[in-house]
């Protein structure tokens, strides 16, 4: 150990130094990315606010004396399109849920403003100038203020989230160096320590010592340990004659096997459904989905939701999978040849057994409502074949989830091709 101690210390120190440099570079890149995202959001917000102000000035020109309303109405239509595009870009830039909610409120207010603009145009066309003035200068003030306030609130929410993320990165960067120093000191202590070697043991003594140091077998509570796969017994050999008995002896009757323990806890399923019925905020769903995974004994859960065209399934909620795995999933066509799409089309649960000794199985349960099937609950189970209790529990949870799920509204650019494909 003394001879190899400096080499071990040098290797560990180099590895820690390289890791520290890499992490510092990564922290710097993340902070730069956060700053760039914040700057882009601020610029886009300022642009939308300026466009909204220009739209209000153009609307005022509808009723101005000596102005031709046709030109200003065309200009107002262009500005409304610019505001809608700006809101769409802001929604793609923001990651905070509260910022998305404020932008959704801004979109609702813009719809109200567009409706009022249509009424003002109709009044101008009917030569009702005073009525149009009342709409432009009185009724349209509140929606315009709502848009501006929602934009500011969304910007502030995203600013707070990015600032908190940057503060966390700086805190981790500050804590990284002391942690690296502690690891170097531990490596130095380990490399410099020496162990007193006893007399050499024979081969048989080494084997005996190794067997004594083996840990005891670990067994999870409630899970039977199977050493060998079960072997089916032919009906003729199920009862064996007692030793020494003749042809007229009565075969021994085997004791009835104990019923298998249920795969799920019905009480836990009931409590989960009660909590699902109380959901008022979508931010509560990840924790409840994690509880559903534990209750059903599933290693992974995905809630697939259909879009408004009824042609594609999108993963809306997930538990037990890494982000990069979910990113590769994409969407599923409802006519595709897979258990999830089949469960949606047939409105019947589907199960897929594992193909190997240690393979996992999967189930897919449709989310059925009074208006039809809105999606599918897919679960990955550790057993090679899904147990009936697991499928029944999944159907109970899916029935409760169906009350919380509604079809996903696609953007206009994606919805029209999907409708054409469905009609074709």
Q: Using alpha carbons, list the distances in angstroms from residue 161 to 48, 142, 164, 171, 173.
A: 21, 28, 5, 15, 18
Find where tokens 């709502």 sit.
Answer: 146
Domain ranges, ordered by start, for the chain: 5-177, 266-410+419-423
By CB atoms closer than 10 A (0-12, 13-18, 19+), residue 76 is buried
What's the DSSP call for residue 137? I
Rounded Cα–Cα distance for residues 189 and 29 (Å): 35
pLDDT score of 246? 42
Asked if the domains at 5-177 and 266-410+419-423 fall in one CATH topology, the answer is no
d(CA 74, CA 319): 49
Strand-by-strand arrangement of the 312-319 sheet: 332-333, 312-319, 300-306, 372-381, 361-369, 350-352
Which residues are registered as beta bridge partners of 367? 375
Residue 111, SS3?
helix
Q: Taking the chain (424 residues) in consecutive chunks of 10 residues, what is each chunk's mean pLDDT?
A: 61 74 74 82 90 86 73 87 91 88 90 88 82 85 90 89 79 73 74 54 56 42 35 37 41 49 76 86 85 88 91 90 79 91 94 80 92 91 82 89 86 62 57
Whether residue 185 contacts residue 12, with contact meaning beta carbons closer than 8 Å, is answered with no
CA distance 345 to 373: 8
CA–CA gap between residue 362 and residue 384 (Å, rounded):
9
- pLDDT on residue 205: 60
What is the model's pLDDT at position 347? 93
CB 106 within 8 A of CB 154: yes
Residues whose CB falls within 8 Å of the CB of residue 99, separated by 6 or more in sequence, listed in order: 153, 154, 155, 157, 158, 161
How many other CB atoms sit within 10 Å of the CB of residue 51? Answer: 17
| Six token digits for residue 148 | 């501006």
Superfamily classification of domain 266-410+419-423:
GAF domain (3.30.450.40)
| CA distances for 268 relative to 45, 218, 299, angstroms | 47, 26, 17
Residue 272 CB-density burial (10 A; 0-12 exposed, 13-18 middle, 19+ buried): buried
Q: What is the CATH number that goes with domain 5-177? A: 1.20.120
Q: Which of 57, 53, 59, 46 is nearest to 151 (CA)?
A: 46
């Amino acid at each position: 150990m003394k001879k190899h101690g400096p080499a071990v210390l040098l290797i560990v120190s180099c590895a820690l130094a390289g890791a520290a440099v890499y992490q510092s570079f990564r922290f710097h890149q993340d902070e730069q990315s956060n700053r760039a995202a914040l700057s882009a959001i601020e610029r886009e917000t300022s642009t939308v606010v300026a466009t909204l102000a220009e739209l209000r000035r153009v609307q005022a020109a509808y009723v101005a004396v000596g102005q031709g309303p046709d030109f200003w109405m065309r200009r107002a239509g262009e500005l409304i399109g610019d505001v809608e595009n700006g809101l769409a870009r802001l929604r793609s830039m923001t990651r905070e849920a509260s910022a998305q909610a404020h932008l959704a409120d801004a979109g609702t207010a813009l719809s109200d403003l567009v409706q009022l603009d249509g009424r003002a145009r109709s009044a101008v066309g009917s030569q009702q100038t005073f009525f149009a003035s009342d709409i432009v200068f009185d009724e349209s003030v509140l929606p315009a203020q709502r848009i501006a306030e929602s934009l500011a609130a969304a910007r502030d929410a995203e600013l707070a989230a990015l600032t908190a993320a940057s503060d966390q990165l700086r805190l981790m960067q500050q804590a990284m160096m002391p942690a690296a120093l502690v690891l170097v000191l531990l490596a130095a202590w380990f490399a410099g320590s020496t162990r007193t070697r006893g007399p050499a043991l024979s081969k048989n003594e080494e084997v005996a010592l190794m067997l004594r140091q083996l840990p005891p077998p670990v067994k999870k509570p409630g899970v039977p340990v199977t050493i060998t796969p079960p072997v089916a017994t032919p009906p003729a050999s199920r009862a064996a004659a007692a030793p020494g008995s003749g042809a007229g002896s009565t075969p021994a009757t085997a004791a009835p096997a104990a019923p298998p323990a249920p795969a799920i806890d019905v009480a836990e399923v009931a409590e989960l459904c009660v909590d699902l019925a109380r959901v008022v905020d979508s931010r509560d769903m990840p924790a409840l989905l994690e509880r559903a995974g534990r209750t059903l004994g599933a290693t992974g859960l995905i809630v697939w939701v259909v879009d408004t065209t009824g042609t594609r399934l999108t993963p809306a909620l997930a538990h037990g999978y890494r982000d990069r795995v979910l990113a590769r999933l994409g969407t599923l066509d409802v006519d595709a040849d897979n258990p999830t799409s089949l469960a949606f089309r047939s409105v019947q649960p589907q199960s897929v057994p594992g193909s190997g000794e240690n393979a996992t199985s999967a189930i897919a349960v449709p989310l059925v409502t009074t208006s039809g099937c809105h999606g599918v609950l897919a679960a990955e189970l550790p057993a090679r074949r899904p147990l009936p209790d697991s499928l029944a529990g999944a159907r109970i949870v899916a029935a409760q989830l169906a009350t919380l799920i509604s079809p996903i509204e696609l953007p206009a650019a994606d919805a029209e091709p999907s409708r054409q494909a469905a009609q074709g």
